[in-house]
């Protein structure tokens, strides 16, 4: 039977970005995949991370920068980027952005491994 998702769950993250998760651990209890809309203000940045999930990101408005060991990718509206589990990456934006992120397996705070954060962070603690 189809399952209606009446609205997103808001997932807390550092730096003023808003995650509106429609499918995933926080919203629907799914651990296989998460689908979320991200709203990042101008000047937003987050710590470097080495997540345990692949992330497929489609930028709808603005742009994001994805720092990795060999440089920086500037991903603009209408473009997409794929980051793979285990890669050290860091997201930021100078102008602000609205984008969709799909994570496999589903995003969960304990799988992100942001520098300076505890790995035992859990959505269940909120």
Q: Reply yes or no on whether the pLDDT at 124 is more than 60.
A: no
Cβ 34 vs Cβ 103: under 8 Å: yes
**pLDDT for 122 beyond 70:** no
Q: Is the pLDDT at 120 greater than 80, yes or no? A: no
Q: Is residue 51 within 8 Å of residue 57, measured between CB atoms?
A: no
| Domains annotated on the chain, with CATH | 9-117 (2.60.120.10)
Q: Report pTM.
A: 0.87
Beta strands 18-23 and 34-40 are antiparallel
For 97-120, give the DSSP string: EEEEEEEES---HHHH-BTTS-TT
In which band, very low, low, confident or very high, does the pLDDT at 118 lie, cut at 50, 70 and 90?
A: low
Mean pLDDT along residues 101-122: 78
Percent of the chain residues topping a pLDDT of 90 = 78
Residue 75 · residue 64 · CB < 8 Å: yes
Tokens of 114: 């942001």
């Amino acid at each position: 039977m189809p399952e209606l998702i009446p609205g997103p769950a808001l997932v807390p993250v550092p730096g003023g970005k808003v995650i509106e998760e429609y499918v995933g651990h926080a919203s629907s209890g799914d651990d296989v995949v998460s689908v979320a809309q991200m709203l990042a203000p101008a000047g937003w940045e987050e710590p470097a991370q080495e997540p345990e999930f692949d992330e497929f990101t489609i930028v709808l408005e603005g742009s994001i920068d994805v720092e990795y060991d060999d440089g920086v990718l500037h991903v603009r509206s209408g473009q997409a980027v794929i980051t793979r589990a285990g890669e050290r990456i860091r997201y930021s934006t100078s102008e602000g952005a609205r984008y969709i992120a799909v994570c496999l397996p589903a995003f969960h705070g304990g799988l992100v491994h942001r520098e300076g954060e505890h790995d035992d962070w859990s959505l269940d603690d909120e």
